A and B are shown apart, each in its own frame.
Chain A
Amino acid sequence: MGRDLLMALTIVMFLGTGGFFISRMAPIIGVMRLARPTDRLDNVGQRLGFMMRQVFAHQRLMRMKLSGVLHFFIFSGFVILFIDIVDAIGQVFVPGFNIGSALDFVVDLFVTLVLIGIILAVYQRAVLKPERYHGSDERDGYIILGMIALIMIGIVLHESFYPFAAPVLFHVHPRLDPWGFLGYSVAQLWIRTGLAMHPVIAEVGYILGYLLDIGMVFAFLAYLPTSKHLHIFLAVPSIFLHKTRPHGELVPPVDPDAGMAIRTVKDMNWKDVLDLFTCTECGRCQAVCPAHAAGQPLSPKMVIIELRDAVRRELAGGEPLPLAGGVVSAEELWSCTTCGACQEACPVFIEHVPKIAGLRAALLEDGEVDKSTQKVLVGWDRQGNSFNQPQRKRPAWAKGLDFTIKDARKEPVDWLWFVGDFASYDPRMQHLSRLVARLLHRAGIDFGILYEGEVNSGNDALRMGEYGLFETLAQKNLAALEKAQFNQVFTTDPHSFNALRNEYGKLGFDRPVRHYTQAFLDLIEQGRLRPEPLNLRVTYHDPCYLGRWNRVFDAPRQLLEKMGVELVEMPHHGANSFCCGAGGGRIWMEEVGMTDRPANIRMREALTLQDVNHFVVACPKDMSMFTAAVQSTGSEERMKVIDVAELLAQAVGLDEPLDRVMAE
């Protein structure tokens, strides 16, 4: 009788929640089918390996110790939960079913770990209260933790009553197995209190435990599609479907008719839609976002949540709101520096930056962009630079040299130097460009530049959502590059480096591109430059477009080592570097709602380092941003911003005075 009831209940719950789950998931899949295509089924082997490392070793999650460990406990519990489900349902449907002592032990072990995980999670949420949870659905978090806890209690409860209820319910006589140590200990309690002797109590206790366990598992299943814990189902496929195209490439080739603007959910690709529902609201992205830290109205987590909620509202029959400038505000979108720290931190590999850039593209199409930014976009279109200077003045910086740089459009060169806007036009950077030229000259490199044939690389234009302008600029550069004969491209500016290396590929360019830190390191290793030890203690700032987006972390560090420079790392370095605030066009935009500049935050981080008084950069924009940061933090006496090339010039004895224009 009792057993029939349990069987019937199990079947009803299974069909009910299963149907409910599918009915809730189907619309989400429906939206994904409406969305744009993206190829995520290439490189299956590599994808699988990556997925295994991230899922079973929690590679990225472990970057945050407490969260990583507690998540690993709870996650393992889910894997083990399947054994328990088989065990519990097996007992009901196949009298005498037994998974064996070993598995009993494993289940109980993991029940313990999960309970510890839950206690840690509650401690983290209620006591530590990390800022990253701000804006997340806290209630949802507690509901889920509560449900998991109840399932665990259910497991122990029905296990402990099983030996006493089984004779009545299933007409079998299992023995009390000490390997299932939790059930065993609790059963001892029932024996001691005499509860075990009452068949009705044992029966009720068992059924209650069973319902808490299996019933709650089904309830959980029904609850998931409306909860951030949908990631339990979606995280693994999402990680499998992660981006494998060049990391620094913002968007794959764009269909010219469709453009890259995201106005409605249909303009995203299906992986973008999947991302929205995979987000766990953990806030790791928010915690590392420089715009968020600067008090601007942007949180990458909220962008994802806002988009997801908009899709949900639409699915529920609500009027669709415009995504750009409506669901996600223009202020949020223009605050992003495209530094990529959010993507780097996200445990489920959500791609925030292409979404933000696509939404920006929609704003741009509607003409919504501030005046100073517009001026830069128009300047790129007309003169090819952001300085509102004539194109023909681009090579003016090279005039102050006592040798002539080859015109790579006219004669073959070994290295073709793509100089970039800042290094060409900014008076403070022109000095650095000459220094780099003299270093190359000293090393005997056969190099040349494109003179007026070069225009801005378009890296920032693309990140501002101006795909058309990016294409125009890229095509101009490619036309000039086509005419030139060279063996490799040499760049000083990480933004140009990224464009040439990762974005021009879709327009047919595939020549080797190197950053000066890599190239100079080679020159030293080949003995073409011989630095003397400088005996300095410095710290180094990884530029986002060199480090995070292009994974060049070691070359600059080795270069420093070769110059006898002691490197003291800031807490945020390498892949976790903290953006200067200039990227993604931010350097030209108005500072809306900023309470603290990212560059100042970064400078204060450097100032905490003992006896370090050189802040080494490897990007012209960094030079500009951090020189200003030194001034606005009043630390001119304490810290000097210096480019790697300046250090190298000093180390090889180029007679450039070190106390240059910095303070001017």
Chain B
Amino acid sequence: MRLAVLLKTVPDLVEELALDEDARTLLFDEMSYVPSEWDDQALEEALIIKEESGAEVTVIAVDTGDVDTMLFTALAKGADYAVKIVGDFDAAMSNWQKARVVADYLGRGDFDAVLSGVQAIDDVDGQLPGLVAGFLGWPHASVITEVRVAGGSHLQLRQEYAGGLVAELETVTPIVVGVQAARKPPRYASVAKVRQVAKSATIDEVEADVAEARLAGVEYVRPVAAGHAEMIEGDIDEVVDRIVAILEERNLLRRA
């Protein structure tokens, strides 16, 4: 079984987003980036499959900035190959564009399954795996919490629905899977090991052209607060009176 895992970096939300309030643009170059945590889950699931049934794991990232450390970290965790798709890309590249170049690469290989994080902080509606599947013309399943090889070219998937409902799916390969969570928390890669891998392993670089974006971001602004909380001040009697008044105003108080 040959597995591809899609990895990408996203702005680090520990820091504030760099927003130019006047130009209404995001300053992509001024933010720091970290690996998307859902992709970490996808990688972990792929590594579990590898340990269970001997799959070969290739991690793939589009070179939108510094992705080498992320790829070396994946190799340190146990991935077999790392591929960096290089071209005229930058951090502002859209998910649609990423899906396009990744699908082009995947189409030329013979992968049995592609695992990706089901979503990312810059892709909360989880388009990326669906788009990749669409470009490839492969089936796609999302919000998956378990992937198992069911013999031959079959996979068993576990999919979670709202309200605690769980579905067991069976599918033929090839397929694109959006992973919500791996069966186990992602493993740790020690700094020394990543460093060592960075010295000994290589990242395959593959050239690609970027497609013209179909949607363009017009402006980025902070959401305007629709309302705000009222701070009730004063001594205890005043506060109580005010609370009672508010409840009455909203018809929430029934007097006996």
Contact = CB atoms under 8 A, between A and B. Distances in A.
B200 to A, nearest CB: 11
Contacts of A468: 190-195
B77 interface: yes
Contact of B188 (A259, A374, A392, A467): A374
Contacts of A367: 77, 187-189
Contacts of B77: 367
B108 to A, nearest CB: 32
Contacts, number: 49
B20 interface: no
B187 A259 contact: no
Interface string A350-371: 0000000000010011111111
A368 B14 contact: no
Contacts of A377: 188
A466 B191 contact: yes
A368 B187 contact: yes
Contact of B191 (A370, A388, A469): A469
B185 interface: yes
Interface residues of B, number: 18
A256 B191 CA distance: 12
B192 A467 contact: yes
A64 B224 CA distance: 70
A388 B12 CA distance: 11
Given A367-B77, A371-B185, A466 B190 contact: yes
Contacts of B187: 366-368
Contacts of B194: 468
Contact of B192 (A259, A382, A383, A389): A259
A381 interface: yes
A381 B192 contact: no
Given A367-B77, A382-B34, A469 B14 contact: no
Given A468-B193, A468-B195, A369 B188 contact: yes
A100 interface: no
A469 B190 contact: yes
B241 interface: no
Contacts of A388: 14
Given A367-B77, A371-B185, A468-B195, A382 B14 contact: yes
Contacts of B190: 361, 364-365, 465-466, 468-469
B15 interface: yes
B188 A390 contact: no
A471 B190 CA distance: 12
Q: Is the interface of A mostly helix, strand, loop or mixed?
A: helix
Nearest to B189: A367
A466 B77 CA distance: 15
Nearest to A260: B192
Q: Is the interface of B mostly helix, strand, loop or mixed?
A: loop
Name, among B32, B77, B189, B190, the residue most crowded by chain A CB atoms within 10 Å (CB to CB).
B190
Interface string A365-399: 11111110010010001110000111010000000
Contacts of B14: 382-383, 388-390
A208 B188 CA distance: 66
A472 interface: yes
B54 to A, nearest CB: 18
Interface in B2-33: 12, 14-16, 32
Contacts of B188: 364, 367-369, 374, 377
B48 to A, nearest CB: 12
Interface in B174-194: 185-194
Interface in B190-217: 190-195
Given A367-B77, A371-B185, A382 B191 contact: no
Interface in B55-81: 77
B24 to A, nearest CB: 23
Contacts of A381: 191
A472 B190 CA distance: 12
Contacts of B195: 468
B33 to A, nearest CB: 10
Interface in A464-514: 465-469, 471-472
Name, among B34, B193, B194, the residue most crowded by chain A CB atoms within 10 Å (CB to CB).
B193
B35 to A, nearest CB: 10
A468 B195 CA distance: 8
Contacts of A469: 190-191
Interface in B62-110: 77
A389 B12 CA distance: 11
Interface in A427-476: 465-469, 471-472
Nearest to A461: B191
Contacts of A382: 12, 14, 32, 34
Contacts of B32: 382
A383 B191 CA distance: 14
Nearest to B12: A382
Contact of B193 (A365, A369, A389): A365
B199 to A, nearest CB: 10
A91 to B, nearest CB: 64
A468 to B, nearest CB: 3
A468 B188 CA distance: 13
Given A367-B77, A371-B185, A382-B34, A390 B15 contact: yes
A370 B184 CA distance: 11
A381 to B, nearest CB: 7
Nearest to B191: A468
Contacts of A471: 191
Contacts of A374: 185-186, 188
B51 to A, nearest CB: 11
A383 B16 CA distance: 13
B193 A472 contact: no
Interface in B121-142: none
A374 B191 CA distance: 12
Name, among A259, A367, A374, A389, the residue most crowded by chain B CB atoms within 10 Å (CB to CB).
A367
25 contacts: A361-B190, A364-B188, A364-B190, A367-B188, A367-B189, A368-B187, A370-B185, A374-B185, A374-B188, A382-B12, A382-B14, A382-B32, A382-B34, A389-B14, A390-B14, A390-B15, A465-B190, A466-B192, A467-B192, A468-B192, A468-B193, A468-B194, A469-B190, A471-B191, A472-B191
Q: Which 3 A-B pairs have the closest CB atoms?
A: A367-B187, A468-B191, A468-B192
Given A377-B188, A390-B14, 5 more contacts: A364-B188, A368-B188, A374-B188, A382-B14, A466-B191
